Structure 1
Amino acid sequence: MQAALSKAQIPDIAAQVTYAMRIMGIAPLPRNYELYYEAYIGSNPKLTKELAALGSRANQEELDEIGARYFAHVHHAAGIDRAHTHLASELGDLLRLLREEQSALENYNRLLDETYQNITGRSNASAEILRQAVSILTEATADTMNQGKERAENVSLKSFEMEVIRQELDEYKRIANTDSLTRLANRRAFDEKLAAIYNSEQLRSQTSLLVADIDHFKKINDSYGHPVGDKILATVGTVIRANLRRDVFVARTGGEEFAIILNDNTLEESLQVAERIRTALATTPFKNSKTGVNYGPITLSVGVCQATQADDPVDLYNKADIALYCAKNAGRNRSMLFEEGMKKDTGKSWLIYRK
């Protein structure tokens, strides 16, 4: 898919994916975009191969069949649509209840006004009129209170039902932002989190980005196969997660690349975190307990850049990526801080990360 794109004309991933879908005649539906986005960033080689096998004119039924296998809960748009429809229906019912309550109060207010007029009217200033007015107001007040209680109970029930639906929608979003293999955040969630850094100058001043890549991962896949490679990816994700605070954001951003966003850390502290993760992984055994085959050692190269060193999210990612490239070029299994003057040899393929 990438070979058909002119990068000079298409500056970012989103545009490249959209452009590729357009020239292949793929309907611009969110669930289709999700498939081709994941295929483009290389997070699932099997998915990429299946989409490529469909050719340039895949029909929607074929795409939905693939989506159902790889994104079982998310790809089915019907699930999200159903939740949204249910929520809209509940909101409509709640609005109707509130309007009824408003109408009841307006009627009650009108009755009060009419009774007041009867009591104060000169021609009706009699004890009988007063007794009738008190009787009418007493009955109206009781009816209004009963109706109000019933509506309050209905409003409470609707609020509970809407909370359940909100939780369902939150779960859809969580699944949509989770990498199915490592259970870490995925590239979509990472892009959102990275962009948010520059919404606040205070947040920018205390945030660092770590970009990590497994060394020689292509060799692992070629030697032992993708199933073993997938297990190693999952284990690497577990090791990274175990060596970070619970509140630290970590994502698998594609293939064998991971990203970590650190808040409240100096550049030196961020480097220490990178080294802790790198060392922990290098000492983790990767051995098949049944066959005795040793897949290790598995190592990481890490690039670190502070948000204040970059102008925007794209610049921050690029500079962390340059530091990662330099760590690879310097021999791998090391962490490097970004420094001005570092350059990435653009004449070489980014696939150096996979070598």
Structure 2
Amino acid sequence: MAEQRVAPTPANFAVWFQYLAGSQDDLRDAIDLLIDHNRPFDSRTNQDLFETYIAPQVSAIVVRTSERLHALMGAAKEFLTTAIADNHSQMQAISEVADQGKAGVDPKALVAQLMNELARAATRATRLEAGFAEKTRELDVIRDSLSRSEQRARTDTLTGLANRRALDEFLRKAQATAEWGEPLSVLLLDIDHFKTFNDNFGHGIGDQVLRLIAKVLREKVREQDLPARYGGEELIAVLPDADLAASAETAERIRRAIAECRITRRSTGEILPNISVSIGVAQYRTGEAITDFIERCDRALYLAKGGGRNRVVTEIELERAGAAG
């Protein structure tokens, strides 16, 4: 966005996030075309991109959910109104039977009439219960749909990992726990020579590589850890209750597993060159800002890349390098 001089607004971030995620081919093609023709990303162009490719998705979800809830509440109101009316009718009918009993009407006829009213009331109650059960199921469907929408809003569409929104929330909670003395570490991972790989084999293969590395990352961290896509070809994992040494061991397992991966071009069966990653590892320091924490990990990552790539560097080595410099 900085390179294209795109204003850092929430709407613009939404557009460019989806562009980098690669989830919308039309959006990617539109932006690539604008870049190829040196078109400026002015306010009008940015607004058009948002309204064309992002807003319809958001609006469609909101509108559909709102319409379904409105219909559901209308049906529930109708059922309740019917139930109240039926209750009044039943009470009136039973009251009339009681009055007839006082007037000396044949008891057998009164019993038959009362049984008839009770049977009608039971039928109405069964029908009402079935209607409410159906609407309850519809409400469950709406709730599940909203839950899935929330999950999608917190998930990177390309890799299936947590996105920046989910990452930021997780980090804030983990930081609060770490302030009480629990260790908290982060490892930041970057694919070596990824741009060259993309240029040589295309974005489709590049996306396949990202998904593969995301899968390895997800498998090698613990259940309580959060693997996420940090941006572009950078992935991150937040490791609560893990010190620097333990996190460095995890990072090394990830590095080795990725180095052993083999990628095959589906269309031709061609085995592509091996891929590798560089990883930086840092541990949270009580009282520091999360941005400083991540920045230290990022510097460790770039020390790994500068030191030959395909390696893990912790903040300890970063400090040693700084002292030596």
Relative to the length of structure 1, the TM-score reads: 0.66
Alignment partner for residue 295 of structure 1, among 269, 273, 290? 273
Change (3 A) 1:108 1:126: closer
Change (3 A) 1:252 1:103: same
Alignment partner for residue 128 of structure 1, among 81, 104, 111? 104
Provide the aligned length of Structure 1 versus Structure 2: 311
Instruction: Could you tell me which runs of 5 or more consecutive residues in structure 2 were left unpaired when the two chains were aligned.
Output: none
| 1:125 to partner: Cα distance | 10
Change (3 A) 1:282 1:135: same
Look up the equivalent residue of 1:17 and give its one-letter code.
Answer: T
Alignment of 1:53-64 (within 5 A): 53=39, 55-56=41-42, 57-58=44-45, 63=50
Q: Select between 307-316 and 278-287 the one with higher mean Cα deviation.
A: 307-316
| 1:107 to partner: Cα distance | 6.8
Look up the equivalent residue of 1:295 and give its one-letter code.
Answer: P
Alignment of 1:182-197 (within 5 A): 182-197=159-174
Please give the alpha-carbon distance, in whole angstroms, between the structure 2 residues aligned to 1:315 and 1:130: 91
Change (3 A) 1:293 1:104: closer
Look up the equivalent residue of 1:58 and give its one-letter code.
Answer: T
- Residue of structure 1 equivalent to 2:67: 85
Look up the equivalent residue of 1:49 and give its one-letter code.
Answer: D
Alignment partner for residue 49 of structure 1, among 32, 41, 63? 32
Look up the equivalent residue of 2:45 and give its one-letter code.
Answer: A
Alpha-carbon contact 2:190-2:234 (below 8 Å) kept: yes
3-state SS of 2:313 partner: strand
Please give the alpha-carbon distance, in whole angstroms, between the structure 2 residues aligned to 1:3 and 1:344: 31
Cα displacement string for residues 208-255 of structure 1 (whole angstroms, at most 9, x for unaligned residues):
332211123233334444344333223222332333456643222211
- Residue of structure 2 equivalent to 1:221: 198
The answer to whether the aligner puts 1:177 opposite 2:190 as a matched pair is no
Alpha-carbon contact 1:236-1:281 (below 8 Å) kept: yes
| 1:164 to partner: Cα distance | 2.0
The answer to whether the aligner puts 1:35 opposite 2:22 as a matched pair is no
Alignment partner for residue 138 of structure 2, among 157, 161, 175? 161
Please give the alpha-carbon distance, in whole angstroms, between the structure 2 residues aligned to 1:323 and 1:279: 18
* Identity among equivalent pairs (%): 29
Please give the alpha-carbon distance, in whole angstroms, between the structure 2 residues aligned to 1:81 and 1:66: 17
Cα displacement string for residues 165-186 of structure 1 (whole angstroms, at most 9, x for unaligned residues):
3323333333443333333333
Please give the alpha-carbon distance, in whole angstroms, between the structure 1 residues aligned to 2:317 and 2:114: 81
Change (3 A) 1:55 1:142: same
Look up the equivalent residue of 1:2 and give its one-letter code.
Answer: A
3-state SS of 1:321 partner: helix
The answer to whether the aligner puts 1:255 opposite 2:232 as a matched pair is yes
Please give the alpha-carbon distance, in whole angstroms, between the structure 1 residues aligned to 2:227 and 2:142: 28
3-state SS of 2:15 partner: helix
Alpha-carbon contact 1:212-1:258 (below 8 Å) kept: yes
3-state SS of 2:281 partner: strand
| 1:274 to partner: Cα distance | 1.1
Alpha-carbon contact 2:101-2:110 (below 8 Å) kept: no
Change (3 A) 1:157 1:294: closer
Look up the equivalent residue of 1:205 and give its one-letter code.
Answer: E
Relative to the length of structure 2, the TM-score reads: 0.71
Provide the alpha-carbon RMSD of the alignment: 4.5
- Residue of structure 2 equivalent to 1:21: none
